[in-house]
A and B are shown apart, each in its own frame.
Chain A
Amino acid sequence: MLNMIMRRLGAAVIIFFLVSILVFALILLVPGDPAVAVAGENADADRIEAIRSQLGLDDPIIVQYWNWLTDALTGDFGNSLVTGESVISGLTERLPATASLMILSVSLAVIGGVPAGLLAGLRPGSVFDRGASVLATIGLAVPSFWLALVLIMFFSLDLGWFPAVGYTPFTENPWNWFLGLTLPAITLGTAGMAEIARQTRAGVADTSRREYVQTAYANGVPEHRVVGRHILRNASIPIVTVLGLQVAGMLGGSVITETIFGIDGIGSYAVQAVSQRDFPVVQGMVLFVTIIVLIVNLLVDISYGMINPKVRSA
């Protein structure tokens, strides 16, 4: 098991370096002179020169990359070109809002998706199964920005149950924190819930037909134990896989959701940075998100090993 974790960790480090090269190359891909692009078309030559040396654009590319990477590894992603604020503090300030949103969205997706998929998978072809699969298809098909607007119109503007925009930190007021994030979490979590329900259904329906499930029944293991122990355990590998993908996907989806609901999180920070061509912020953000995705993937791999003993030795 430890052996497997070390190997996956090694792979993660390699992927991190490859991504860092791509992220760094981002600035080289900007058409024309990045310094001009950053400074704006009307900037004078002194200003462009200042930006050029601030970005270290006079050094050879390898040196530029090395300096940038070693700084990044110590948590220094440079400063925002727009506000001058350090990128890392910009990220850490906004992290709690995004983390809260992610945790609620993932919880919603799991709490709604797994039981629905389980019930549907145990009775394939039943009314519940067919109803759930129609709902899941709708959940996957509905664009999140549209869903967000409908939710706001109905639950905020008509019923007034939830605020339409804004984020309250948990430490300030947990109830308002929860109220403010409910609609964003539904927006962000619905597609994930639908996907998890589909995967759970497929996994459970497939596992239920396996011979070892029959063995358990034939030896008198009662149904709730067969489902809870034998079926769910083996069906959870595709569920965990899709959960890992969903977390990565939700990080991307948070860009839209945070912007619509006026949450000052990582996602809306990214939108700002891109529209203002704030390259250090974009670079820092991509690297930051990469690390989170790599950690999630590592956790997924480790849980494979915990679920399936064959993976441990593989």
Chain B
Amino acid sequence: MTAGLEAENAVRLPALSVRDLRVLLPDSERDIELVRGVSFEVAAGECLGLVGESGAGKSLTGYAAMGLVERSGLRLEGTVNVADVCISDLGGRRLSRIRGQRISMIFQEPSVSLNPAFRVGSQIAEVVRVHRRTSRREAWDRAIEALRLAGVPNPERRAREYPHTLSGGLKQRAMIAMAISCEPEVLIADEATTALDVTVQAQILDLLRELQDRLGMALVVITHDFGVVADICDRVAVMYAGQIIEQGDVRDVLYRPQHPYTQGLLDAVPRAFETAAVVGIAGTVPPPDALLTGCRFAPRCPYAQDECRVSEPELMATGRDAMVRCIRHSDINLPGVRRAV
């Protein structure tokens, strides 16, 4: 009986669950909040997009979920759970055992993310040996297998090469191979395709989707590009100034956005065969230490009224798994994406 219940619970637990995550930069007067209370969940086999401009705190949210921010002198509040393990309470060796094994991350710049001094295969094999009790030989074989899974042609030969001999796309595939070498439940991809050629970008996105299917991973895609979101994500959370301002199903957010900022981002996506100039959002993201009352987007918002500047809006549920942080969301009617992205 109880075993059955536990099994059921385990199935229902989201692979990654982030609760009221805050990242603070300690300061002599008052701590500066860079990420201001972010919460989301990602189920196994699901892909969540975290979208926003530079400085929105989306990458920092990813790093925080990995427990990678404290090394830079930042403070973390809130909880991060990978399935049933609360990793935000862990540190040192116990956190190391989770990272790479149950939750992994790939980064924006593949060209500098591999250690130039070691062979590609030995860097992947090191990760395998850190997490699994295997011989050197088995770890090396597993590294080659991971490279093959990541679509690296001729993996036996590539494994023996040094990173500087690989192209950017191959390096990112090697990074992915390293991240999935121990079959983690959660993979965070931080702008993983931004530094790559457009054609390679599409291949890497295909690869991520394929690996997600094969391994049943929860995938978090951090990007500034709504094209990537439309391509790969099931759900999307739009971030602005350290907060989630809208969250929901990808199709809903793309075609029926509720927050003026989301509409602004959609309008800023350049599209092929369209001669009209891309419309940017006027103004810039307020600095994290700006003292603002009311909605943090109000200074840039074309729909802002006096009531918007009174108090900071809460994230309001507007449907099944749909949320928006805008008090005027039911008054304004946003067109959404004007053509297929």
Co-assembled chains A and B? yes
Residues of A participating in the B interface, judged by any CB pair closer than 8 Å = 210-212, 214-223, 225, 229-230, 233-234, 307-310
Chain B 66-99: CB-based contact to A (< 8 A → 1; otherwise 0):
1010010000000000000000000011001111
Contact status A220-B101, CB under 8 Å = yes
Q: Which A-B residue pairs are the 9 nearest by beta carbons?
A: A220-B100, A219-B100, A220-B99, A212-B115, A309-B162, A211-B112, A219-B127, A218-B105, A211-B113
Contact status A212-B127, CB under 8 Å = no
Tell whether A219 pairs with B107 under 8 Å between CB atoms, given A210-B112, A225-B130, A307-B117: no
Contact status A221-B162, CB under 8 Å = no
Question: Could you write out 25 A-B pairs with CB less than 8 Å apart?
Answer: A210-B112, A212-B115, A214-B68, A214-B107, A214-B113, A215-B175, A217-B68, A217-B96, A218-B68, A219-B99, A219-B104, A219-B130, A219-B178, A220-B96, A220-B97, A220-B131, A221-B96, A221-B100, A223-B92, A225-B126, A230-B115, A230-B117, A233-B115, A234-B116, A309-B117
For B178, list chain A residues within 8 Å (CB): 215, 219
Residue of B nearest to A124 (CB): B73
Contact status A234-B126, CB under 8 Å = no
Contact status A211-B107, CB under 8 Å = yes
Residue of A nearest to B114 (CB): A212
Contact status A217-B71, CB under 8 Å = yes
For B164, list chain A residues within 8 Å (CB): 309-310
Is B337 interfacial (CB 8 A cutoff)? Answer: no
- For the complex, what is the distance from the CA of A234 to the CA of B99, rounded to whole Å? 23
- For the complex, what is the distance from the CA of A220 to the CA of B92, rounded to whole Å? 10
The smallest beta-carbon distance between B101 and chain A, in angstroms, is 6
Residue of A nearest to B115 (CB): A212
For B93, list chain A residues within 8 Å (CB): 222
Chain B 158-198: CB-based contact to A (< 8 A → 1; otherwise 0):
00001010000000000100110010000000000000000
Contact status A220-B115, CB under 8 Å = no
- For the complex, what is the distance from the CA of A102 to the CA of B113, rounded to whole Å? 40
Q: A212-B114, A220-B127 are in contact. List 9 more A-B contacts (CB 8 A).
A: A212-B112, A215-B175, A216-B115, A218-B107, A222-B93, A225-B126, A233-B115, A233-B117, A310-B116
- For the complex, what is the distance from the CA of A309 to the CA of B162, rounded to whole Å? 7
Is B53 interfacial (CB 8 A cutoff)? Answer: no
The smallest beta-carbon distance between B131 and chain A, in angstroms, is 6
Residue count of chain B within 8 Å CB distance of chain A: 32
Is B312 interfacial (CB 8 A cutoff)? Answer: no
Is B41 interfacial (CB 8 A cutoff)? Answer: no
The smallest beta-carbon distance between A225 and chain B, in angstroms, is 7
For B109, list chain A residues within 8 Å (CB): 211
The smallest beta-carbon distance between A54 and chain B, in angstroms, is 56
- For the complex, what is the distance from the CA of A222 to the CA of B129, rounded to whole Å? 11
For B99, list chain A residues within 8 Å (CB): 217-220
Instruction: Tell which of A214, A220, A229 touches B98, judged by Cβ atoms closer than 8 Å.
Output: A220
Tell whether A215 pairs with B114 under 8 Å between CB atoms, given A220-B130, A310-B162: yes
Residue of B nearest to A219 (CB): B100
For B115, list chain A residues within 8 Å (CB): 212, 215-216, 230, 233-234
B254-276 contacts to A, CB under 8 A, are none
The smallest beta-carbon distance between A214 and chain B, in angstroms, is 7
- For the complex, what is the distance from the CA of A307 to the CA of B68, rounded to whole Å? 27
For A307, list chain B residues within 8 Å (CB): 117
- For the complex, what is the distance from the CA of A222 to the CA of B131, rounded to whole Å? 10
Residue of B nearest to A307 (CB): B117
- For the complex, what is the distance from the CA of A212 to the CA of B107, rounded to whole Å? 10
For A221, list chain B residues within 8 Å (CB): 96, 100, 126-127, 130
For B105, list chain A residues within 8 Å (CB): 218
Residue of B nearest to A221 (CB): B130
Instruction: Tell which of B71, B113, B130 touches A215, judged by Cβ atoms closer than 8 Å.
Output: B113
B98-156 contacts to A, CB under 8 A, are 98-101, 104-105, 107, 109, 112-118, 126-127, 130-131
Tell whether A309 pairs with B130 under 8 Å between CB atoms, given A215-B175, A218-B104, A220-B99: no
The smallest beta-carbon distance between B112 and chain A, in angstroms, is 4
- For the complex, what is the distance from the CA of A4 to the CA of B176, rounded to whole Å? 34
Residue of B nearest to A209 (CB): B72
The smallest beta-carbon distance between A212 and chain B, in angstroms, is 4
The smallest beta-carbon distance between A52 and chain B, in angstroms, is 59
Tell whether A308 pairs with B96 under 8 Å between CB atoms, given A211-B112, A218-B104: no
- For the complex, what is the distance from the CA of A185 to the CA of B68, rounded to whole Å? 43
- For the complex, what is the distance from the CA of A230 to the CA of B117, rounded to whole Å? 8
Residue of A nearest to B131 (CB): A220
Residue of B nearest to A308 (CB): B117
For A310, list chain B residues within 8 Å (CB): 116, 162, 164
The smallest beta-carbon distance between B125 and chain A, in angstroms, is 12
Residue of A nearest to B108 (CB): A211
- For the complex, what is the distance from the CA of A168 to the CA of B127, rounded to whole Å? 52
- For the complex, what is the distance from the CA of A87 to the CA of B118, rounded to whole Å? 48
For A219, list chain B residues within 8 Å (CB): 99-100, 104, 127, 130, 178-179
- For the complex, what is the distance from the CA of A107 to the CA of B26, rounded to whole Å? 41
- For the complex, what is the distance from the CA of A220 to the CA of B101, rounded to whole Å? 7
The smallest beta-carbon distance between B191 and chain A, in angstroms, is 12
Contact status B100-A218, CB under 8 Å = yes
- For the complex, what is the distance from the CA of A211 to the CA of B68, rounded to whole Å? 12
Contact status B130-A222, CB under 8 Å = yes
- For the complex, what is the distance from the CA of A132 to the CA of B140, rounded to whole Å? 41
Instruction: Tell which of B92, B100, B113 touches A212, judged by Cβ atoms closer than 8 Å.
Output: B113
Chain B 291-332: CB-based contact to A (< 8 A → 1; otherwise 0):
000000000000000000000000000000000000000000
Contact status A215-B107, CB under 8 Å = yes
For B114, list chain A residues within 8 Å (CB): 212, 215
For B104, list chain A residues within 8 Å (CB): 218-219
- For the complex, what is the distance from the CA of A211 to the CA of B131, rounded to whole Å? 21
